């Protein structure tokens, strides 16, 4: 029984670890998207200030061009993280299913042990009842 408790604790730890990883990836994606949106605003401000919105124009602001590159890198990174998120969520689901299997086995064993204990108690009570009925007859 102790080993099963240890396995359950291990499985719960693994589920918690995978939940933390999923949350961490989600936070990183949100942060990258926020940073990309901020760069969008900065690019727009720079284009408005220069009066040029065509990146191919020779006088297009250098800062806006560099910010576009950073923004695209952030979006690419967010897409890669989204793939990692899918994998992490699948791993979390698998760990959760493993935990449930072990918990169900543990519950089944506990029910079996309770049934054996109940049967033993009933046998003892039957024996006591039989002794009392013999004493009453004599």
Is 12:98 a contact under the CB 8 Å cutoff? no
Amino acid 137: pLDDT? 63
Secondary structure (H, E, C), the chain:
CHHHHHHHHHHHHHHHHHHHHHHHHHHHHHHHHHHHHHHHHHHHHHHHHHCCCCCCCCCCCHHHHHHHHHHHHHHHHHHHHHHHHHHHHHHHHHHHHHHHHHHHHHHHHHHHHHHHHHHHHHHHHHHHHHHHHHHHHC
Cα gap 19→57, rounded to integer Å: 48
| 9-13, 85-89, 106-110, 126-130: the lowest-pLDDT one | 126-130
Domain coverage including residue 34: 2-137
How far from each other are the two terminal CA atoms of the chain, in whole angstroms?
46
Reported as a single tens digit per residue, the pLDDT across 4-41 is 889 999 999 999 999 999 999 999 999 999 999 999 99
CATH code: domain of residue 25: 1.10.287
Count of structural domains, the chain? 1
Distances 44 to 38, 51, 76, 78, 94 between C-alpha atoms, Å: 10, 10, 20, 21, 45
Please write the tens of the pLDDT for every residue from 121-135: 999 888 888 888 777
pTM: 0.74
Rg of the chain over all Cα atoms, to the nearest angstrom: 33
């Amino acid at each position: 029984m102790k080993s099963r408790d240890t396995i359950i604790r291990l499985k719960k730890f693994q589920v918690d670890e995978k939940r933390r990883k999923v949350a961490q990836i989600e936070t990183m994606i949100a942060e990258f998207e926020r940073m990309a949106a901020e760069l969008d605003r900065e690019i727009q401000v720079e284009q408005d200030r220069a009066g040029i919105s065509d990146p191919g124009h020779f006088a297009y602001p250098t800062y806006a061009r560099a910010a576009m590159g950073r923004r695209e890198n952030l979006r690419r990174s967010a897409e890669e993280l989204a793939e990692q998120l899918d994998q992490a969520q699948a791993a979390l689901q698998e760990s959760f299913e493993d935990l449930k299997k072990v918990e169900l086995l543990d519950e089944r064993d506990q029910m079996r042990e309770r049934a054996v204990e109940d049967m033993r108690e009933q046998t003892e009570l039957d024996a006591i009842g039989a002794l009392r009925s013999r004493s009453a007859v004599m």
